[in-house]
Amino acid sequence: MREVTRRRLLWCAATDSSFERIELADGPALEGKCLHCSRKLLLRADGEPISRATIEHIVPRTHGGGDELSNLGIACARCNHGKGVRLDVRRADDPTLRRVIETLRERRRARWREPPSDWDLPSRP
Ligand SMILES: [Zn+2]
């Protein structure tokens, strides 16, 4: 996995209150919830996914969405892929696409927190 993706995953987890630090048998990890389906997701402390966690662009890149943290969330691969196939290809004014974007935005906002000061984070992506 690309280093920038790992950093993005770490920073998304750090700013998402569903994520907390846990200890697994083989070391520290982060556990949180998919932005779509709330399924449990696990990352290693360096951001490498243990389960299939991916970066979700809330406003898709194809519609001008950027890489700022407020537009990024962590989603399981299945949800992220599903949204990409079903929704991101739609026109920007498509009501279903707009509704899903609004829902994800609200959820990201509701879970938003400042990065915990005791997390050892790499430089911001
Ligand atoms: Zn999911």
Q: Tens digit of pLDDT for each residue in 70-111?
A: 999 999 999 999 888 888 888 989 999 999 999 999 999 999
Name the domain count of the chain.
Answer: 1
For residue 116, the CA-to-ligand 1 centroid distance in Å is 24
d(CA 45, CA 124): 15
d(CA 89, CA 121): 34
For residue 56, the CA-to-ligand 1 centroid distance in Å is 10
Tens-digit pLDDT profile for residues 13-51: 999 999 999 999 999 999 999 999 999 999 999 999 998
Residue 116 falls inside a structural domain? no
For residue 34, the CA-to-ligand 1 centroid distance in Å is 5
Residue 63 falls inside a structural domain? yes
Residue 122 falls inside a structural domain? no
Residue 66 falls inside a structural domain? yes
Range of the domain at 70: 3-111
Residue 33 falls inside a structural domain? yes
For residue 120, the CA-to-ligand 1 centroid distance in Å is 26
**Entry pTM:** 0.93
d(CA 43, CA 90): 31
